[in-house]
Structure 1
């Protein structure tokens, strides 16, 4: 199969381009795309339980812990005991974190608005339908199933 006609190649190449673009913008603010993603996933007012952040973002706990430590060192976030569960903490934004969250949000809006200028609503809806379908096929294990003995690609 030609790589230009391979669905996974197009997804990967596009995501790599988007990630590179966002990282270039984040670097202008001494940050990273991963940091911006965390900032955007923390509730602006109430904060977010640390245990909820990983699943929200699809990150492994070790990677997330390292990233949260860096963000705490940069004074973007702080940790507060969870009043509803003494075993966990709430990650809250500092004033600086809120400011950086708004910067990140601005970049996301700019990207989305620019893309929307170049594609129709119908094309966008088709794109969302295709990505939902791919995600559902993967979630339902309809592509490879649970057979771990199958050959790797």
Structure 2
């Protein structure tokens, strides 16, 4: 593993997690993206559609497609935002709440399995490293923006 690049390890690990969740979700005719969306929607107040994309790290077109499928399956309903007539609040239906609980259970099962097999010290180190990498990326400390200006 030492000859692998850091981004390669992240990418392959995420792809394995994604595949695992999608295989679980497929047994119930759904996808990981739908489960993630269910978990990202406030079950009591709903969530403005405009804040869902950034919250989930999804592009608008992918999110629109996911929400359309969720609406067709009766998991969500869209209601006008009372504070902004142009906006929409995404609410879970009763069926959506049931599937949200199932998605939450799967995520907790995954986390419990990891915690049972990896020491807290190693997990703390993992979280610290990931936070540092995210900070470096968001503070543009990896690529100097001036290097990318064409002359």
What band does the TM-score fall into relative to the shorter chain? over 0.9
Q: TM-score, normalised by structure 2?
A: 0.94
State the aligned residue count: 149
Residue 142 of structure 1: CA displacement? 0.7
List per-residue Cα deviations over 1:47-70 (Å, max 9, x = no partner). 000000001011111111111011
1:79 corresponding residue in structure 2: 78
1:25 corresponding residue in structure 2: 24
Residue 27 of structure 1: CA displacement? 0.4
Q: Is the 8 A contact 1:77 1:94 kept in 2?
A: yes
Consecutive unaligned residues of structure 2, counting only runs of 5 or more, are none
1:4-153 equivalent positions in 2, closer than 5 A: 4-146=3-145, 147-148=147-148
Q: Is the 8 A contact 1:3 1:9 kept in 2?
A: no
Consecutive unaligned residues of structure 1, counting only runs of 5 or more, are none
- How well do the aligned residues superpose, as a CA RMSD in angstroms? 1.4
Q: Is the 8 A contact 1:49 1:89 kept in 2?
A: yes
